[in-house]
Each structure stands twice: as C-alpha cells, then as structure tokens.
C-alpha cells in the first residue's frame, strides 16, 4: 500500500471516528444535570471530538496542499483553492487545538485540586436577554478579577460581598463558589 493510500485511509478513519464522537456532541448527556459543574463535564466529554476534528483539519489541509494542479485551472485559481484553503484549515486546526484540547488537557490535574481565590467587594451582574452572568471582585493584592458564570452558579449562590472561588488556572473557569 503506497503512502498516499495510507493517508487517505487515515483521513477517512479519522473522519469516521469524529462523526461518531459528534453524536455525543448532539446528545449531550450532561444537559439534563442540574449542577453548575455541567459545563466542565461537557468540556471534557468533547475533548476527543475536538482532538479528532483538529487532526482531520490538518490532514485535509495536507491533502489540499499536495493536490496537483488540474489542467483547466489557472494558477491563481489553483493557489486560492488549494494553498490558501490549506493554510486556513491548518490555522483553524491549530487554534482549536490550543483552546479546546491543549488548555483543558493541561488543567486536568487542577480539577481535583483547584486554585483558591478570595474576592472582596464582589459585584454580581446578569443580562438575561443575552444569558450573561458574571461576578467581579478584588483579591487581597488589589487586583480586579471578572469571571463568567454558569446560570446555575448565579441562581444557586448566596450573593455576598466576600466569596471564595475554586477556579481552573488557565481558563479561569469557576468550579465552586462559597460565600464567606
């Protein structure tokens, strides 16, 4: 089996597995959970999907880059369709890999021992029309912090002026909120 056939077989296998993991994305078993941590569960459930999606994007970009120029195509048309498309696909794959695979994978050890942050002068803001729920406050060094919240965190938490947060260090995802 030559190299080109192996890469095509790898691409179709990867696309198949990605499609199967996309079914999990559509079902979303954690959507029925009534817990503020459901966003964190969902983030890690879809880690294989995004990893395979990034792999598919990079393999497809490689195929587009290696595609020979058809006789009827002009050189600018071929450069646009093959080269620029492959650069865009590669960039998309790399950006998705960093934000949806690498950062969550790096934060796995912190799920069990999250970073603690004490905030004073906490302000709770919400915009129901855009489903945006935030809290902001000042830490002991005087630095201002702003966190986006899951609607369940916002609804279930006692709104106090001083709180203790359990957060993931790189994505600044709130795991738990305790009033002081």
138 and 71, same structural domain? no
Helix (H) or strand (E) holding 126: strand 115-127
Return contacts of 57-61, CB within 8 angstroms, 24+ apart: 57/89, 57/90, 57/92, 57/93, 57/96, 58/89, 58/90, 58/93, 58/94, 59/7, 59/10, 59/11, 59/14, 60/11, 60/86, 60/89, 61/85, 61/86, 61/87, 61/89, 61/90, 61/93
If asked whether residues 52 and 126 sit together in one domain, one would say: no
Any idea what the CATH number is for the domain that residue 133 is in? 2.40.50
CA distance 126 to 132: 6
Write out the chain's pLDDT in tens, 180 residues. Answer: 566 677 778 778 877 877 777 776 666 666 666 666 777 777 787 888 888 888 888 888 888 888 777 788 788 888 888 888 889 989 999 999 999 899 999 998 988 888 999 999 998 888 877 777 888 999 999 999 999 887 776 666 677 889 999 998 888 888 888 887
Residue where a domain terminates, one of 106, 128, 143: 106
- Looking at the 3D structure of the chain, how many domains does it have? 2
Q: Which domain holds residue 83?
A: 3-106
* 137 and 52 within one domain: no
């Amino acid at each position: 089996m030559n190299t080109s056939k192996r890469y095509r077989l790898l691409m179709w296998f990867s696309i198949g597995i990605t499609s199967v993991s996309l079914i999990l994305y559509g079902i979303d078993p954690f959507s029925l959970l009534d817990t503020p941590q459901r966003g964190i569960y969902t983030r890690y459930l879809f880690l294989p999907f995004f990893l395979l999606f990034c792999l598919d994007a990079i393999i497809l970009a490689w195929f587009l880059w290696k595609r020979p120029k058809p006789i009827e195509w002009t050189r600018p048309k071929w450069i646009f369709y093959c080269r620029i498309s492959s650069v865009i696909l590669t960039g998309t794959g790399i950006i998705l890999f960093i934000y949806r695979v690498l950062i969550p994978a790096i934060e796995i050890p912190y799920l069990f021992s999250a970073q603690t942050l004490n905030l004073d002068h906490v302000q709770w803001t919400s915009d129901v029309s855009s489903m945006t729920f935030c809290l902001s406050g000042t830490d002991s060094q005087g630095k201002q912090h702003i966190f986006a919240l899951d609607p369940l965190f916002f609804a279930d938490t006692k709104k106090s002026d001083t709180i203790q947060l359990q957060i993931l260090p790189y994505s600044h995802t709130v795991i738990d909120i305790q009033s002081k």
